Structure 1
Amino acid sequence: MATVTMRDMLEAGSHFGHQTGRWNPKMRRYIFGAKNGVHIINLQLTARLLKDALDFVSRLGQRGDQVLFVGTKRQAQEVIEQEAARCRQPYVAFRWLGGMLTNYRTIKISLERMSEVEKSLSPGTVERLPKKEVIRLERELSKLKRNLGGIREMPKLPGAVFIIDTVKEHIAVKEATSLGIPIVALVDTNSDPDETAYPIPSNDDAIRSIRLFTAAIADAYIEGAALHKDRRSGDDLGTHGGSSGAAPVDVVRKGGATEVAEPAEADEDTDTDTDGDDE
């Protein structure tokens, strides 16, 4: 499982919250104290909650459910795009369009339109179009890719949403909540942790802090997805390689190592969620 140490968090400035005058009282339980007018986040609690979040994301990967990465603030955009691409998950890094989850059928129509425009601009077709039409289509495609390019491989609603800054992404939070989609999120001292199923108290403004936690989430998903792939391969072998009638062998990840659990005896009658400087 992906690990983030206390030292990693300290070096990333993850313990620095907002100024004491800009806080949400619901974050009180995650605040260690204040220094020079800035709230200090209790990183021991962060470490515990991060583990819960990583376990959850890994389970999603094992099931093959997608996680939608969301971070449209300037400091988060590049990180969100890079880490989501690394774990092959959908993302929104430019702008959250209202209804992106709650009106997903309309969003899918826009995604289909993107594919149509790409075909119109493909070699062998684009040459037959008037120059003005080509320019218009290129502009349309650019806008569609900017707004929706990150979710074009999201065929259905995700199993969870990972959010950087729930205050900034309040519309995404509202939509996910209304649909019962679990939220994993970085919550700073001005956030409402009760809005998320898996809050990770941390600095959500410093680039290093954002990158640290986003990479950990991506790593957890990759590890879970690897187990999902292993299980599917095992199923294929059982289906096409001749059935011996033996119970399936479970692959269990413990402490970073992979162990094989002995199959249980089968019953004969058994049916088959600022910048790079610290604040």
Structure 2
Amino acid sequence: MIPRRVVARSSQPSRLLSRYTLCLCQHRSLSTETSSGSSDPAAPKGPLIVDFEEQVRLAASESSIPSTVPRTPSQIQSQIPGKPLTKLQEYQHLKAAKRASDEIGAILGEHYKPHELITNPPSPRDITLELLLASGAHLGHATALWNPGNQRFIFGIRQGIHLISLDVIAAHLRRAAKVVHGVSKNGGIIIFVGTRDGQERAVVEAAKRAKGYHVTERWVPGTITNKDQLLGDQKLRVLNHLDQEIRLTEKQRLLLKEKLAAAGNKDMDKLKVQDTVQLPDGYGAVRPDLVVCLNPLENKTMLQECAQYRIPTIGIIDTDVDPTCVTYPIPANDDSLRAVQLIVGVLGRAGQEGRLARYEAEADNAEKLERLQRRLEESNRIRDEAVATTQIQKDAEQAASESRQHELEQESLISNR
């Protein structure tokens, strides 16, 4: 059995030192395990006994060194016995106790944190074979359930289960990430669909990053093919290139009120007009530009509707799924929640990067237009100044010629006399 070495350390004086001494003395018997099963050749033989009292005494001697940092009056006042502590002093004592207790025990190294694949997914550039292997994306189904169309994705067979090639998974995932990046950069509409248990949070977070939409409960048949009947009563809002709703000016709101009043609403003061620009009701619902499906087996109706209107689709294709049902297949394990969270997180991050690239492009275009506008204004000003200078010179020449003509006339009159 591997021995457990427990050492109590303290980097600063603490009032909880006596409590830790009592607690460690109570658990002194836990360290009497033998070290016969230790893999360390330098480990001592026989029972391993850690003298907790000696360790605490050493820690106390280290902490008893006088500090050169001056104490504040509040710290001195907090040490007066019998005086109640304030809320701030209680909080400071709690933080000091937490710092002291954090230094007791083992130090955890790098380990798997399930929430990071949702809160902070990797970017397409950070996709590695080790990451895919750790998520279990290479595990397929039994050999009896395979679809022959997936033969080019399969690496081999182990214990009756097909194994998907990690190189193929990484290549197809990077290609799908480029597609999502391009659609998001051009301002397209992306829908993330994941209707299995446990996929909701990852799908919602990916849709938020890409400024898209998500379906986590059930795909309603006819959402694309019969969109005007299902979504015709929904009003459409107009967004700019920065995904911001375009606001109506006061003049536009007044004109809209007059139009509504002329249509039958007599009292204009009671009319409520929304501040954002809206399209008319007969415009029709909008179809998506890209659909990302995490479980194609349960959403065959949706994939058929997308194929009917030539909407590109991205799907996770396991060894028992037909790869021709989607436009851009990602061969991977669709039953592993960790693998699904990894894939949808990478696609959501790609959509976020494409959206930010669109924002930067719009900012650059706005800056270029501003420079062109300033240059045009400067050229117009220079032209106006040149025209004004030319006109002044013409006026001066005309005045000089008139004055010369007048002098000649005066000289001729004098000579005639």
Supply the distance in 2 between the matched residues of 1:241 and 1:81 (Cα, whole angstroms).
40
- CA deviations on 1:121-145 (whole Å, 9 max, x unpaired) are xxxxxxxxxxxxxxxxxxxxxxxxx
1 or 2, which has the higher helix percentage?
2
- CA deviations on 1:82-116 (whole Å, 9 max, x unpaired) are 2212332101110000011112222323645xxxx
1:66 and 1:159 in contact (8 A); partners too: yes
Supply the distance in 2 between the matched residues of 1:96 and 1:193 (Cα, whole angstroms).
20
Asked if 1:13 is matched to 2:143, the reply is: no
The alignment's TM-score, normalised by the length of structure 2, stands at 0.47
1:165 and 1:188 in contact (8 A); partners too: no
Equivalent position amino acid for 1:190 in 2: D
2:195 and 2:295 in contact (8 A); partners too: no
Supply the distance in 2 between the matched residues of 1:234 and 1:178 (Cα, whole angstroms).
38
1:218 pairs, out of 322, 328, 348, with 348
The alignment's TM-score, normalised by the length of structure 1, stands at 0.69
1:174 pairs, out of 295, 304, 325, with 304
Supply the distance in 2 between the matched residues of 1:177 and 1:105 (Cα, whole angstroms).
18
Equivalent position amino acid for 2:356 in 1: A
Supply the distance in 1 between the matched residues of 2:148 and 2:190 (Cα, whole angstroms).
29
Aligned partner of residue 95 in structure 1, secondary structure: coil
Supply the distance in 1 between the matched residues of 2:344 and 2:328 (Cα, whole angstroms).
14
1:24 and 1:191 in contact (8 A); partners too: yes
**Runs of at least 5 residues in structure 2 that lack an aligned partner in the other structure:** 1-122, 236-284, 377-417
Tell me the CA shift for residue 240 of structure 1.
Answer: 4.0
User: For residues 109-188 of structure 1, what are the structure 2 equivalents within 5 Å?
Assistant: 109=232, 111=234, 156-188=286-318
Asked if 1:35 is matched to 2:165, the reply is: no
Match of residue 232 from structure 1: 362
Percent identity between the aligned chains? 28
Equivalent position amino acid for 1:58 in 2: H
2:137 and 2:332 in contact (8 A); partners too: yes
Considering only aligned residues, what root-mean-square deviation do their CA atoms show, in Å? 1.7
Supply the distance in 1 between the matched residues of 2:298 and 2:142 (Cα, whole angstroms).
17
Equivalent position amino acid for 1:200 in 2: I
Match of residue 52 from structure 1: 175
Equivalent position amino acid for 1:162 in 2: V
Equivalent position amino acid for 2:136 in 1: G
Match of residue 146 from structure 2: 23
1:165 and 1:191 in contact (8 A); partners too: no
Match of residue 74 from structure 1: 197
Supply the distance in 1 between the matched residues of 2:178 and 2:325 (Cα, whole angstroms).
19
Supply the distance in 2 between the matched residues of 1:77 and 1:175 (Cα, whole angstroms).
23
Tell me the CA shift for residue 66 of structure 1.
Answer: 1.6
How many residues align structurally?
A: 203
Supply the distance in 2 between the matched residues of 1:12 and 1:101 (Cα, whole angstroms).
34
Tell me the CA shift for residue 67 of structure 1.
Answer: 1.2
Supply the distance in 2 between the matched residues of 1:50 and 1:178 (Cα, whole angstroms).
25
Aligned partner of residue 199 in structure 2, secondary structure: helix
Tell me the CA shift for residue 55 of structure 1.
Answer: 1.0
Aligned partner of residue 319 in structure 2, secondary structure: coil
Aligned partner of residue 99 in structure 1, secondary structure: coil
Match of residue 46 from structure 2: none
Supply the distance in 1 between the matched residues of 2:198 and 2:129 (Cα, whole angstroms).
22
CA gap of 1:83–1:175, structure 2 versus 1, over 3 A, is same
Structure number with larger C-alpha Rg = 2
Supply the distance in 1 between the matched residues of 2:208 and 2:230 (Cα, whole angstroms).
20
Equivalent position amino acid for 1:30 in 2: F
1 or 2, which has the higher strand percentage?
1
- CA deviations on 1:38-63 (whole Å, 9 max, x unpaired) are 11111111111111111111111110
Equivalent position amino acid for 1:229 in 2: Y
2:318 and 2:331 in contact (8 A); partners too: yes
Supply the distance in 2 between the matched residues of 1:81 and 1:107 (Cα, whole angstroms).
23
1:71 and 1:169 in contact (8 A); partners too: no
Aligned partner of residue 346 in structure 2, secondary structure: helix
Match of residue 332 from structure 2: 202
Supply the distance in 1 between the matched residues of 2:218 and 2:296 (Cα, whole angstroms).
14
Supply the distance in 2 between the matched residues of 1:39 and 1:212 (Cα, whole angstroms).
21
Tell me the CA shift for residue 194 of structure 1.
Answer: 1.5
User: Mean alpha-carbon deviation: is it higher for 210-219 or for 102-111?
Assistant: 102-111
Tell me the CA shift for residue 226 of structure 1.
Answer: 0.9
Higher relative contact order (CA 8 A, sep 6+): 1
CA gap of 1:107–1:15, structure 2 versus 1, over 3 A, is same
